[in-house]
Amino acid sequence: MGSTGLKSAADRGLLAPTDWKRPSVRWSTRLAHGALLAGLAIAGLGPMLWLAKAAVTPTQDTLREPMALWPNGFDFANLAEAWTRVEIDKYFLNTIALAAGSWAVQLLVAATGGYALAILRPRIGKVISGAVLATLFVPSVVLLVPLYLTILDPPVVGTSMLNTFWAVWLPAGANAFNVLLMQRFFANLPREIFEAARVDGAGPYRVFWSIVLPMSRPIIGVVSVFAVIASWKDFLWPMLVLPDPELQPLSVRLPILQQFVELDVFLAALAISSLIPIALFLIFQRLFLNGASLGGAVKG
Amino acid sequence: MTSIDTRPAGVTGDRARPQNAARPGRRGGLLARARGGLPTLVFLAPMLIVFGVFSWLPIGRAVVMSFQRTNLVADPVFVGVANFQQVFADPQLWTAVQNTGYFALLALLFGYPIPLVAAVLMSEVRKMRGLFSALAYLPVVVPPVVAVLLWKLFYDAGEDGVFNTILGWAGLGPFAWLQDADIVMPSLVLEATWAAAGGTVIIYLAALTGVDPSLYEAAEIDGGGVWRKLWHITLPQIRGILLITFILQIIGTAQVFLEPFLFTDGGPANRTLTLLLLIYRYAFTNSLGGDYGAAAALSLMLAVVLTAFSVLYFRLTRSWSS
């Protein structure tokens, strides 16, 4: 894809209508686009289609002829077996619980914090803002060990949070990117509305709940989608703080299952694990793609 | 969580920061009655508590721990630079440094040009651009563990492995993707690039749509061809983003963990032992109990090197980026 793409990129009309009128440009562009689409389909969709097929194919077929378009037989029982006997249902629920809690904590922290920094503006707001932003510049590897020890022996709480979902939920909230997004969005809301609300006697809680939150649906959507997806993807941290298999999410459990589950059932488990994120993506496609570019815009 | 494993979102925000920090002060407090009052404290509390306990304190603790011997039983003892000496004396450190550097280099070779070319092409798509974007982004939403375990099957060394079957049609192979010491790292990078490239494509695409069309028109009046427009307008216009994705990719790949951990667990013969894997082993797989001091020391050094590199990078490219 890479080199051929580059070559044809040269002949392509770069946003110029006059270029499009030239047949040579038009055709080579179409050719490049066709090649790109084929490449993207093979690379993007191919592995997932293979997984979908393999999930309902008997092990022997997958092993002997992995690239056969049509398996000799279908084995839909794989999915049911993965769900019940391998207890994917349990890990699935754990994953959802972890994602839901992480989402709630992230939204709570980012929305209230962003509101305080952007609209209430305490005197020390700048300092806090800076301290939150500074964490973006600290490579995440630094946190691994000390955060683990914090979970083992948290301040105030006194008892270890190991093997509790809180060990995943609470650290998830310390996401400076979310706070930054919310803060910027709130700061750009029209201030006249807050003034009017204040004249009408609305206090800071009321303004937050009845005005700011309802106006902030787009940004809440972006933060939500990324919170859920990030939690679903997470592996190392839940592996460290949830050693109890009863509590582990899919991501942590799958590598272990691979060692003692037949291939076809394992592939069914992989397919089930991908279902929710892919479904979320297909439903909220625009949110995902806008959000991803938003990341670039903020970074830029 | 995001704070640990992957944080692609915003390790950097260098250029965004000054504007943002300046904004709140300028327009004076709204809801002035509440300024500094109890409600403000209530709204700040979740952020202060969560960041305090799970970000600021651990960051500080990371520095302190590097100079301590810590096991969870006895009280920590200050040991000076002993942890650092121990890490430097470990022959595996240099293996890990080399492997991590090799991974980062390959990831740049594979992963930097492809998204750019794809995005430039996609920005010219007139119909169905959504389809292109969706296909490009799909691998990004596949859970990374699922992706690695699936690719592990694709990389099966037998003749009936998925990739070996495909290459077999062209008379190539079979290759021992994950067992052959010479191709194991490219195999890992290939999967990592597949998993991450879509996100970069979307970022570039957004930057490309932001390029002012009048610049192209001006170039056309001057008789600029497609190549010249690409080289003299498109790329310079998105150079800010190009510079940032470059450094973000370096920071990300320097902390690669998932691929070497799940594909090969550092093997064969430590050929995929990366720095993060070494830190993980120091802290969590030591049979004598976690060597948290050494792990913290190595983490700290990696972070300092990455931060210094980023600062240097932005200094050097400052005149060029704006």
pLDDT at A127 over 50: yes
What would the two tokens of residue A79 be? 């999915």
**Of A107 and A28, the one with more pLDDT:** A107
Contacts of residue A129, defined as CB under 8 A and 6 or more positions apart, other chains included, come to A117, A183, B20, B21, B24
Q: Give pLDDT, residue A91.
A: 94
**Interface contact flag, B50 A170, Cβ < 8 Å:** yes
**B89 vs chain A: nearest CA distance in angstroms?**
21
The closest alpha carbon to B104, from B10, B181, B199, B185, belongs to: B185
Looking at residues B247-268, what average pLDDT do you find? Answer: 92
User: Residues of A with CB below 8 A from B165's CB?
Assistant: 65-67
CATH number at residue B177: 1.10.3720.10
- DSSP label at residue B197: H
If pLDDT is split at 50, 70 and 90, which confidence band does B209 have? Answer: confident
**B53 inside domain:** no
**B147 inside domain:** yes
- DSSP label at residue A22: S
Tokens 């979102």 correspond to B9
Question: Which region among A208-217, B37-46, B286-295, B306-315 has the lowest average model confidence (pLDDT)?
Answer: B286-295
**Interface contact flag, A226 B136, Cβ < 8 Å:** no
Q: Give pLDDT, residue A269.
A: 92
A vs B: CB pairs below 8 A: 428
Q: Which percentage of chain A shows pLDDT scores above 90? A: 52
CA atoms within 13 A on the CB side of B112: 18
**B149 inside domain:** yes
Question: Which region among A69-83, B25-39, B112-126 has the lowest average model confidence (pLDDT)?
Answer: B25-39
Domains located in chain A, CATH noted: 2-55 (no CATH), 82-299 (1.10.3720.10)
Q: Is B78 helix (H, G, I), strand (E, B) or coil?
A: strand
B118 touches B198 (CB < 8 A):
no
Contacts of residue B317, defined as CB under 8 A and 6 or more positions apart, other chains included, come to B243
pLDDT at B308 over 90: yes
**B132 inside domain:** yes
Measure the CA angle with vertex A282, ends A280 and A285; round to 5°: 95
CA distance B28 to A232: 40
Whether omega before A190 lies within 30 degrees of 0, making that bond cis, reads no
**B58 inside domain:** no
**B161 inside domain:** yes
**B27 inside domain:** no
A34 touches A27 (CB < 8 A):
no
pLDDT at A210 over 80: yes
Q: Is A260 helix (H, G, I), strand (E, B) or coil?
A: coil
Supply the mean pLDDT for chain B. 84
**B66 inside domain:** no
Query: Chain A 155-174, CB below 8 Å of chain B: which residues?
Result: 155, 168, 170-174
B77, β-bridge pairs: B69
Q: A120, A165, A257: best mutation site toward chain B, by most B Cβ within 10 Å?
A: A120
> In this predicted model, what pLDDT tens digit does every residue of A243-289 receive, in sequence order?
999 999 999 999 999 888 888 889 999 999 999 899 999 998 888 88
- Domains in chain B: how many in total? 1
Other beta carbons within 10 angstroms of residue A64's beta carbon come to 11
Long-range Cβ contact pairs of A282-291 (< 8 A, separation 24 or more) = A282/B134, A284/A221, A284/A225, A285/B130, A285/B134, A287/A221, A287/A222, A287/A225, A288/A225, A288/B137, A288/B141, A289/B133, A289/B134, A289/B137, A289/B202, A290/A222, A291/A222, A291/A225, A291/A226
Residues in chain A: 300
- Per DSSP, helices labelled H in B68-128 are 82-89, 91-111, 113-122
**Interface contact flag, B154 A136, Cβ < 8 Å:** no
Which structural domain range is residue B269 located in?
Answer: 84-321
User: Residues of B with CB below 8 A from A15's CB?
Assistant: 123-124, 211, 213, 216
> In this predicted model, what pLDDT tens digit does every residue of A174-198 receive, in sequence order?
999 999 999 999 999 998 888 888 8
- DSSP label at residue B307: H
Question: Which region among B97-106, B142-151, B227-236 has the lowest average model confidence (pLDDT)?
Answer: B227-236
